[in-house]
Amino acid sequence: MNLLEIRDLTVHFGGVKAVDGVSFDVAPGEIFAIIGPNGAGKSTIFNLISRIYKPTRGTIWFDGQDITGLKAQDIAPLGIARTFQNIELFDHSTVLDNLLMGRHTHRKTSFVQDALFLPKVRREERLHREKVEEVIEFLELEAHRTKMIAGLPYGVRKVVEIGRALAIGPRLILLDEPASGLSVEETQDVAFWIEDMRRDMGLTVLMVEHDMSLVTQVCDRVLAVANGRPLALGTPAEVQAHPDVQAAYLGT
Ligand code: ADP
Ligand code: MG
């Protein structure tokens, strides 16, 4: 069974069809990329999956459940985490606190239980900290853990943004342009982390990315979109060779 099934996904903003009849499946353990020119609708697909936008038409199934009608806050507890193209961290908090805040959107105890500080709450707090420490180690953020986000270089903030999503312990992670603005060396680190997310954490990865060498290196399959519409679906080599994809990129 597929982990994610998107069917005929469509959203109109006034007259603009930002996403128009997009269908694809992501299998468990797959690393899948959406590529396309700027304004193609890639981030909008992520905003539809994470329920920030409501589709005009179409359905989104996750792990056999129709999630099309759920609220945005119900998505993380199901095991879907995402990063944002424009990093969305708390600039005046530390790396550690940003990762813990990601966890707390995922809490299972009530405020009354919190106030009483029951054993269940203490146990949950310990699990939060353990997961966050695991993410800090995985992403090699140890040296930055108590630093304020605002003072960190862009490349490190990009990594913390990935960490915030990993900290919730998702089964599916949506990465919106994880390598944009990064150096060749930083991009290579991201490539290894994406592969290790699958190998060591058992994650399924859906990413939007412009860097085709990264896509070719790590992705099993690729969906190309332009003007909200699907152009081609297949292996990175198949999609890159597709005449419609070449035309969309070259504007011919
Ligand atoms: P991409 O991520 O592929 O570069 P986006 O998904 O961000 O593209 O945008 C696709 C199109 O949808 C663009 O024309 C953009 O202006 C439009 N769009 C996205 N979100 C909104 C919104 N909330 N309101 C109006 N238009 C939007
Ligand atoms: Mg985008």
Instruction: Name residues with Cβ closer than 5 Å to ligand 2, which is an ion.
Output: 42-43, 85
Tell me: the pLDDT tens digits for 213-236? 999 999 999 999 999 999 999 999
Regarding the beta carbon of 86 and ligand 1, being less than 6 Å apart is answered no
Answer yes or no: pTM beyond 0.95: no
Ligand 1 in contact with 42 (CB < 6 A)?
yes
- Looking at the chain, the domain(s) classified CATH 3.40.50.300 span 1-79+170-252
Contact 72, 47 (CB under 8 A): no
Largest Cα–Cα distance in the chain? 65
Q: Is residue 134 a contact partner of residue 74, using CB atoms and an 8 Å limit? A: no
Q: In what order do the strands lie in the sheet with 204-208?
A: 80-82, 172-176, 204-208, 31-35, 221-226, 229-234
According to CATH, the topology of domain 1-79+170-252 is Rossmann fold (3.40.50)
Ligand 1 site, residue 41, Cβ cutoff 6 A: yes
Nearest ligand to the CA of 228 is 1
CA 16 to chain centre: 24
The CA 139 to ligand 2 mean position distance, Å, reads 24
State in Å: Cα 38 to ligand 2 middle: 7
Query: What digits encode the pLDDT tens for the residues 155-193?
Result: 999 999 999 999 999 999 999 999 999 999 999 999 999
Per residue, the 3-state secondary structure of 143-172, as one string, reads HHCCCEHHHCCHHHHHHHHHHHHHCCCCCE
Check residue 125 and give its pLDDT. Answer: 83
Nearest atom in ligand 1 to 225's CA: 3
